Amino acid sequence: MANILITGAAGFIGSHIAEALCARGDSVCIMDDLSGGCRANVQEAAIASGRPTLLRFNVADCANSFAFENILALHGVPDVLVHCAANAREGASQFQPISVTHRNFYAYINTLTTCLKAGVKHVVLFSSMAVYGENQTPFDETFERQPVDVYGVNKASMERVTEILASVHGFSYMIIRPHNVFGERQALNDKFRNVVGIFMNRIMGGEPLFIYGDGKQERAFSYIGDSLPCFIRAIDLVCSENQIPHDHRIVNVGGMENVTVNELADTVCNAMHVSPESYPREHLSDRPCEVKYAYSTYARSVDVLGYCERIGWRRGIELMAKWAVLKGPQPWYNTQPLELVNESVPKPWLV
């Protein structure tokens, strides 16, 4: 039984990882400041795992060194740090640069430093394909980091700091670059991110679907049930006694099929039992710094982490839609107000 620390585990991906680890008997300590995640995700993960006593929940900010040190003193030094905590509002990062940088780069630097001081030897960092910027698609792990937005710059910096400190302090690590993972427990009411959840919430609320530009942007979506085994495998690999080859330390994890946003909207409409042809849509101006074609290679995720699409994104949309309908329409919220407001701000973000 491993002792595992997960930051941001009241969020979507983190709560699913916590559930899977507890279910197999690992002791899991989680930290979350609840700025993006929610207690309900933790409660659902604990119950679904069948071993709720193995899940220890702490409300704390990763950027707070004092709180972090107290948690490690209380629960013991973990075998591995799994860092999922993030402000993942990529599009909004141009209008929230302080919040995004504080809750991504600074929070991670504090987390990593505190854990290394305590003696942690294994790290799994959840990054983003935002580090690729406008590289030629499909994005491959061998490409240079060329971020074009504030969020991507933060994630690229987090990756590089991990590499530097690992070379100096001798800990093992893996960097996961998930892209467009969706599913149950994903926020439905965050108007800045999670396009699948946004579309579902707008349909439940009788609101038109907002699509930026012509809707021909291409992405690849992965249902959480297909991605989760890879995340668990990454944790196991980084904790193993075998040395991870250098070219296996960064892995894209996401969908195998790239689709347009228009096609995604059609699929969500069908899953929510409304007509794709007649449900109202409104095309808006392109979002600043948005990369039009953003999807990644998946060969390394198959070879290293065993990625496969047993469910697939289309069936995944149907499963998430059933869950969303049970949750019902959610009021839109904004826990971090925009720091820069001008004519460049996308219309839906101002409502």
Question: Which domains are assigned to the chain?
Answer: 3-183+223-254 (3.40.50.720), 195-219+260-296+314-350 (3.90.25.10)
Task: Identify which of 182, 149, 331 has the alpha carbon closest to the alpha carbon of residue 255.
Answer: 182
| Weakly modelled stretches of the chain, pLDDT under 50 | none
Whether residue 294 contacts residue 132, with contact meaning beta carbons closer than 8 Å, is answered with yes
Note if the pTM is more than 0.85: yes
Whether residue 325 contacts residue 272, with contact meaning beta carbons closer than 8 Å, is answered with yes
C-alpha 150: how far from its chain's center?
16
Count the residues in the chain.
351
Q: What is the pLDDT of residue 335?
A: 64
pLDDT single digits (tens) 74-121: 999 999 999 999 999 999 999 999 999 999 999 999 999 999 999 999
Task: Identify which of 300, 178, 159, 174 has the alpha carbon closest to the alpha carbon of residue 239.
Answer: 174
Which residues are CB-neighbours of 321 under 8 A, at least 6 positions away? 200, 268, 271, 272
The values of phi and psi at residue 182, to 5°, are -140, 170
Q: How far apart are CA 196 and CA 148, in angstroms?
A: 23
Q: How far apart are CA 49 and CA 327, in angstroms?
A: 21
pLDDT single digits (tens) 132-172: 999 999 999 999 999 999 999 999 999 999 999 999 999 99
Q: Which two tokens stand for residue 77?
A: 């030094």
